[in-house]
Chain A
Amino acid sequence: MDGARPLLELTGATVRFGADAALDDVSFRMFPGEVHSLMGENGAGKSTLIKAVTGALALDEGTLTLDGDEVRFPTPHDAQRAGISTVYQEIELLPNLSVAENILLGREPRAHGVVSQRRMRDQARGILADLGLDIDPASILGTHSVAVQQLVAIARAISTDVRVLVLDEPTSSLDLDEVGELFRIIRELKARGVAILFVSHFLDQVYEICDRVTVLRDGRLVGEYLTRELLRIDLVHKMLGHDVSDYKARQREPVTQPDAPVFLSARGVTARGIGAADLDLGEAEIVGIAGLLGSGRTELARALTGAAHLDAGIIRIEGRAAHLDSPRRAISLGVVYSSENRRAEGILAELSVLENITLALQAHRGIFRRIRPARQRELAQSWVEALGIRPPDLDRPAGTLSGGNQQKVLLARLLALAPRVLVLDEPTRGIDVGAKVDIQNLVGELADNGLSVMFISAELEEVLRVGDRVAILRDGRIVETLRSGDMTVDSLLALVAQPDEQEG
Chain B
Amino acid sequence: MRIWRHRLFWPSAALVVLVAVNAIARPQFLRITLQDGELYGALIDILRNSAPLMLVALGMTIVIATRGIDLSVGAVMAVSGAVALTIIDGSGDPGATGTVLVAVVVALLVSLVLGAWNGFLVSALGIQPIVATLVLMLAGRGVALLITGGFITTVNSAPLAYIASGYLTVLPFAFIISVVVITALGLVERRTALGVLTEAVGINPEASRLAGVRSRGIIWGAYMVSGVLAGLAGIIYASNIKAADANAAGFLIELYAILAVVLGGTSLAGGKFSIAGTVIGVLIIQTLDSTILFLGVPSAQSPVFFAFVVVAVVIAQSPRTRNALRALGGARRPRAAASVQDRPKVEVAS
Give residues in A with beta carbon < 8 Å to B.
17-18, 47, 51, 56-57, 74-76, 90, 92, 307, 326-328, 331-332, 337, 339, 344-352, 355, 359-360, 362-371, 395-397, 399-400, 413
Contact = CB atoms under 8 A, between A and B. Distances in A.
Interface string B317-343: 000000000000011110111111111
B203 A349 contact: yes
Contacts of B335: 56, 75-76
A326 B333 CA distance: 45
B212 A355 contact: no
B135 interface: no
B207 A327 contact: no
Contacts of A370: 191-193
A355 B214 contact: no
Interface stretch (B37-45, B84-92, B161-169, B194-202): B194-202
Given A56-B342, A57-B342, A367-B194, A347 B348 contact: no
B210 interface: yes
Interface string B209-241: 111111000100000000000000000000000
Nearest to A342: B207
> Which of B211, B272, B343 is packed against the most chain A CB atoms within 10 Å?
B211
B348 A395 contact: yes
A75 B206 contact: no
A327 B208 CA distance: 10
B327 to A, nearest CB: 10
Nearest to B330: A74
A339 B210 contact: yes
Contact of A327 (B192, B203, B211, B339): B211
9 contacts: A92-B337, A345-B207, A355-B200, A359-B200, A360-B211, A363-B200, A364-B212, A367-B193, A397-B345
A350 B272 contact: yes
B183 interface: no
A327 B209 contact: yes
A90 to B, nearest CB: 8
A74 B192 contact: no
B97 interface: no
A327 B210 contact: yes
B36 interface: no
B273 to A, nearest CB: 11
Contacts of B199: 350-351
B197 A345 contact: no
A219 B330 CA distance: 27
Contacts of A18: 344-345
Contact of A359 (B211, B272, B336, B342): B211
Given A74-B330, A75-B335, A360-B212, A346 B192 contact: no
A344 B204 CA distance: 8
A301 to B, nearest CB: 11
A373 B332 CA distance: 45
Interface residues of B, number: 39
A18 B341 CA distance: 13
B148 to A, nearest CB: 38
Contacts of A366: 193
Contact of A345 (B206, B272, B337, B341): B206
Contact of A396 (B196, B338, B345): B345
A348 B206 contact: no
Given A75-B333, A350-B203, A368-B192, A397 B340 contact: yes
A399 B212 contact: no
B229 to A, nearest CB: 19
A348 B204 contact: yes
A307 B212 CA distance: 10
B271 A350 contact: yes
Nearest to A352: B348
B345 to A, nearest CB: 6
A328 B337 CA distance: 33
Nearest to B331: A74
A368 B189 CA distance: 10
Given A18-B344, A75-B333, A348-B207, 18 more contacts: A17-B344, A57-B342, A75-B332, A76-B336, A307-B210, A326-B209, A327-B210, A331-B212, A339-B210, A344-B206, A345-B206, A348-B204, A349-B203, A360-B212, A363-B197, A370-B192, A396-B345, A396-B348
Given A345-B207, A350-B272, A362 B197 contact: yes
A185 B152 CA distance: 74
Contacts of B211: 327, 359-360, 363, 413
Contacts of B208: 348, 359, 363
A368 B348 CA distance: 25
Contacts of A397: 340, 345, 347-348
B331 A75 contact: yes
B212 A363 contact: yes
A110 to B, nearest CB: 21
A430 to B, nearest CB: 14
A118 B214 CA distance: 46
B33 to A, nearest CB: 43
Contact of B340 (A17, A350, A413): A350
